[in-house]
Amino acid sequence: MSNVTCGQKAATTNYTVAMGRIVGGNRAAPGSWPWLVLLKLNGNVMCGGVLVHHSWIMTAAHCFTGNRNENYWQVVVGEYDLKKQGTEERILQINRIITHPKFNQRTFNNDIALLELTVPIAISEHVNFVCLPESIGELPPGTMCYIAGWGSLYEDGPYADVLIEAKVPLLGQSTCRSALGKELVTSQMFCAGYLSGNVDSCQGDSGGPLTCIDPVSKQYYLYGITSWGDGCGQPGKPGVYSRVPSFINWINNEIKKSPGSREPTCFDFHKLSEMQDAQRKSEVTRLCAFYHRFCPPLLGPTACSRCIEEKCRGKMKKCQLGTFLQKLLDLLHPVEEFIRIRDSFSFFTETIPKFMENIYTNIFPSQGQHLAKHEKGCQSINESLLNVSLLMDEYKWILSIPIEKLSMRFQEVLVDMTSKNEKGLFKARVKATVGGRLATFNSLVGLENDSFYRSMARVIGQALDVLQT
Ligand code: ARG
């Protein structure tokens, strides 16, 4: 990786406009943080991220606890004002999400992830990668560094529209531990901010950079990844960052891996559809060769190539299923407005991905993450394929409906207020137009925020059922 151009800001960005916050920060000048990217899930702002290479983004692993399917994520580079379409703004797709293998969801230890882009990014005035701290070692407490992001302006507050930055000092490990709790702060983390509070990162800033400047070369180095905190900007509660220098070996190893040593991605398989027959055949062979390593040691060559083929086809089918489910999700988009009015995206960002994950794990019990357990692998694939085709058949009717017919409008929801059940749901009669047709059906709906969203999946499902007849 060339270190010549890393960590340099656009020449014209040497000012900041006071106003707004990360928490207690300032509006950044456009192009100030050319390595900062925005991560969106289904179009919603979720996290920050950092360009560390032409094809690689670094971010926090916890950003993917709700959904780690590459299809649903987008990377925006050159972003500045979320409300305006900037000329430097580009939307990129993710080929592969690699969360740190030792990331602990409970403790947030090793909260770091690498995202491989489907195409390398073009470097420009407002889009550049940051320097990795290969050799800068530990920086002393008190070193002033920078955080930036589009996250909340205060605890539980709204997200920022315009990129916000703040200057924060690094804190020593013992200060950090006594502020936040000895057991909670591991050596893979560090704190930055003020014990007096006020200046801090906040929700939505996760995965974004904490960068420090090399006083000699004036280049910016990535020292931390925004990870967690106790509230935002509270006195005595500095922000916690993943300690990037501790992960340098892991990062370099992942970035350097040869193409043949990684599992082919859904994007790789998807590209096959654009190829001519002959080229496609050789590409399939090339991609599938990866699965050779899962042939049990004593298997003969024919059996082994059959095993490779099955494994590879299993992965291809899994990708097709992913595309299919995404289409299903797209079908639900017409009701998004309705959910948006209710002020929450959790239905799209949590309920549906969870539902999909369940489908995945039921269909592929011994695949995916558990590839290494090849003992059970091959027989289960046929079974999986059967399940996939059953599911495809079952839902064929959805795919054959023209998209424009798939709007859903609620007309009336009559609730029997005396019918509250133990889950807090009420009996209701729902009247809605689905794809232009009036549907009336009985359902259970929640009336409080939380129970309302939980009940929505069922209501939409029931409404969709109407399309079948
Ligand atoms: N976990 C948060 C997120 O997902 C980041 C919180 C940072 N909090 C703090 N007080 N520094 O966006």
Same-domain status, 328 and 186: no
Cα–Cα distance, 210 to 239 (Å, whole number): 11
CATH assignment at residue 94: 2.40.10.10
Name the domain boundary from 355, 377, 400.
Answer: 400
Count of structural domains within the chain: 3
8 within a domain of the structure (yes/no): no
Told to judge if 126 belongs to the known catalytic residues of this protein, a careful annotator would answer: no
Same-domain status, 42 and 160: yes
Joined together, the tokens standing for residue 66 give: 């709700």
Contacts of 12 (CB under 8 A, 6+ apart): 29, 31
Told to judge if 111 belongs to the known catalytic residues of this protein, a careful annotator would answer: yes
pLDDT confidence of residue 109: 97
Contact between 364 and 316 under an 8 Å Cβ cutoff? The reply is: no
- pLDDT 10s digit of each residue in the chain, 469 long? 444 489 998 765 544 444 444 788 889 999 999 999 999 988 889 999 999 999 999 999 999 987 888 988 999 999 999 999 988 999 999 999 999 999 998 999 999 999 999 999 999 989 999 999 987 778 999 999 999 999 998 888 888 899 999 999 999 999 999 999 999 999 999 999 999 999 999 999 999 999 999 988 899 999 999 999 999 999 999 999 999 999 999 999 999 998 889 999 999 998 998 999 999 999 999 999 999 988 888 878 888 888 899 889 888 877 877 777 776 666 655 555 554 444 444 554 555 555 555 555 555 444 434 434 444 444 545 555 566 566 666 656 555 656 555 567 777 888 888 888 877 888 888 888 776 778 888 888 888 777 777 777 778 777 766 655 5
Same-domain status, 115 and 65: yes
5 within a domain of the structure (yes/no): no
Contact between 60 and 47 under an 8 Å Cβ cutoff? The reply is: yes
149 CB near ligand 1 (under 6 Å): no
Same-domain status, 195 and 71: yes
262 within a domain of the structure (yes/no): no
Same-domain status, 32 and 174: yes
Domain enclosing residue 453, as ranges: 407-468
Closest C-alpha among 305, 107, 126 to residue 188: 107
Q: Which of 32, 201, 206, 384 is flagged as catalytic?
A: 206
* Positive/negative CA dihedral, 372, 377, 383, 389: positive
Residue 147 φ then ψ, to 5°: -120, 155
271 within a domain of the structure (yes/no): no
Told to judge if 242 belongs to the known catalytic residues of this protein, a careful annotator would answer: no
202 within a domain of the structure (yes/no): yes
Same-domain status, 313 and 168: no
pLDDT confidence of residue 257: 93
Name the domain boundary from 367, 400, 433.
Answer: 400
Q: Residue 126: exposed, middle, or buried by beta-carbon count in 10 A (0-12, 13-18, 19+)? A: buried
Residue with CA nearest ligand 1 atom 6: 228
Separation of CA 208 and ligand 1 centre (Å): 10
Closest C-alpha among 161, 132, 139 to residue 149: 161
Ligand 1 atom at minimal distance to the Cα of residue 234: 10
Same-domain status, 395 and 412: no
Same-domain status, 71 and 192: yes
Same-domain status, 385 and 417: no
Residue 436 falls in which region: left (phi positive, over 0), alpha (psi -120 to 50) or beta:
left
Same-domain status, 361 and 393: yes
Same-domain status, 232 and 285: no
48 CB near ligand 1 (under 6 Å): no
308 CB near ligand 1 (under 6 Å): no
Separation of CA 226 and ligand 1 centre (Å): 6
* Angle between the N-to-C axes of helices 374-399 and 449-468, in degrees from 0 to 180, rounded to the nearest 10: 70
Same-domain status, 333 and 429: no
Cα–Cα distance, 169 to 20 (Å, whole number): 20
pLDDT confidence of residue 20: 40
152 CB near ligand 1 (under 6 Å): no
259 within a domain of the structure (yes/no): no
CATH assignment at residue 441: 3.30.160
225 CB near ligand 1 (under 6 Å): no
Separation of CA 346 and ligand 1 centre (Å): 18
Cα–Cα distance, 457 to 428 (Å, whole number): 15
4 within a domain of the structure (yes/no): no
pLDDT confidence of residue 366: 43
Closest C-alpha among 92, 100, 17 to residue 62: 100
Closest C-alpha among 145, 137, 172, 125 to residue 30: 125
pLDDT confidence of residue 372: 40
Residue 391 φ then ψ, to 5°: -65, -45
257 within a domain of the structure (yes/no): no
